[in-house]
């Protein structure tokens, strides 16, 4: 069968699960913001402000990223901290792509 008509035959289940994650603009923007921070750790309020998005939207993207092990979260009282997991294969590839892309500026969120 033609792979254009039946894309699941040409990709594995694992790859097809990653497509929704990597196609989300918020995931890429969160990685950019976390990379710009000194320690790759940002509290969620600062992340919401940097992305100029609402809390629910950012929280939804963070849940997706956490599901795939792309980030780690910690709560200190009411403060929720988000840390980029640079050991994750997906994040490592994203960092590589972002660092190779000269057209991506730090102001293009």
Tell me whether residue 89 is in a domain: yes
Give residue-wise pLDDT tens across range 43-69. 999 999 999 999 999 999 999 999 999
Number of Cβ within a 10 Å radius of residue 26 = 17
Residue 100: what pLDDT?
83
Report the domain count for the chain. Answer: 1
Tell me whether residue 19 is in a domain: yes
Q: Is the pLDDT of residue 83 over 50?
A: yes
And the tokens for 69?
């092990």
| Whether the Cβ atoms of residue 4 and residue 10 lie closer than 8 Å to each other | no
Tell me whether residue 82 is in a domain: yes
Tell me whether residue 6 is in a domain: no
Tell me whether residue 32 is in a domain: yes
Helix (H, G, I), strand (E, B) or coil at 79: strand
Backbone phi and psi for residue 2, each to the nearest 5 degrees, phi listed first: -65, 130
Domain that includes residue 88, residue range:
14-100
Whether this model's pTM surpasses 0.85: no
């Amino acid at each position: 069968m033609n792979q254009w008509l039946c894309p699941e035959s040409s990709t594995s289940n694992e790859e097809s699960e990653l497509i929704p994650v990597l196609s989300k603009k918020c995931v890429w923007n969160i990685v950019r913001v976390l990379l710009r921070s000194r320690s790759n750790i940002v509290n969620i309020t600062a992340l919401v402000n940097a992305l100029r998005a609402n809390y629910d939207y950012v929280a939804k993207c963070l849940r997706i990223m956490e599901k795939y092990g792309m980030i780690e979260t910690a709560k200190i009282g009411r403060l929720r901290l988000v840390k980029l997991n640079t050991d994750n294969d997906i994040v490592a590839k994203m960092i590589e792509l972002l660092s190779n892309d000269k057209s991506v500026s730090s102001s293009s969120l």
